[in-house]
Amino acid sequence: MKAVCLLSGGMDSSTLAYLARERGYEILALHLNYGQRTEARELASARAVAERLGAVEFLPVSIEYLRLFGRSSLTDASIAVETYDPSAPELPNTYVPFRNGNLLSIATSYAESRDANAIFIGVQALDYSGYPDCRPQFIAAFQRAIDLGTADTTAIRLESPFVGLTKTDILRIGLDLGVPYELTWSCYQAEDEACGVCGSCHYRQAAFAELGLADRIPYRSRP
């Protein structure tokens, strides 16, 4: 069996790839550059993780046109990345409009061209629950799009095993699987030392703290 794994180089996607391998899949690692601030560090992390787990392919693809659209602090340098605020009621400005729809469309083309059996995506609906393209309903709708938009002889399952889990749940799974978290990168705005204050850094640090563990990547600021 073969699976396309969307591998950003972060905690969730790296754990996802290891889980897919544990389930018996050969890994086709797909890394998407969508014009994000930390792409250089994310690419290096994704490549290192793919090599460590023995992916049969590692394919980086550029979809930097999302930078042209803007409206996200991850792709527009004029918008400051928000500091984590648990009381903020609105959609975080780190949301990239319909990013996962773009990523999954490319992953579907890649999977069909390689006769892959599955696509794995590490979306969560609990952490950052405001992201509309991380909801279970979206995943179900995209599965329907895959079924309708590929050849009749094609059968690709869209797998999102983390959609109902927290970052801490995912970390527990990854520790059991031996995920090299020291190779991963989660920060939204820095590539040398993680900022420690963005939403992604917050959830990562909180997960390690909840399990009483030290995160081995460098931080400018720790709680």
Q: Where along the chain do its domains lie?
A: 2-210
Q: Which residue has the higher pLDDT, 92 or 127?
A: 92
Interhelix angle 39-53/11-22, nearest 10 degrees: 20
Nearest-angstrom CA–CA distance, 145 and 178: 34
Residue 223, pLDDT above cutoff 70: no
CA–CA dist 15, 49 (Å, integer): 10
* 222 has pLDDT over 80: no
More confident residue, 88 or 18: 18
Q: Is the pLDDT of residue 151 over 90?
A: yes
- For the entire predicted model, the pTM comes to 0.97
Q: What confidence category does residue 73 fall into, taking pLDDT thresholds of 50, 70 and 90?
A: very high
- Dist. CA 143–CA 118, nearest whole Å: 11
The predicted structure's pLDDT at residue 216:
95
What is the tens place of the pLDDT at every residue in 28-72?
Answer: 999 999 999 999 999 999 999 999 999 999 999 999 999 999 999
Across the range 119-132, mean pLDDT stands at 86
Topology classification of domain 2-210: Rossmann fold (3.40.50)
Q: Residues 176-194: what's their mean pLDDT?
A: 97
| Pairwise CA distance, residues 195 & 220, whole Å | 5
Q: Is the pLDDT of residue 125 over 90?
A: no
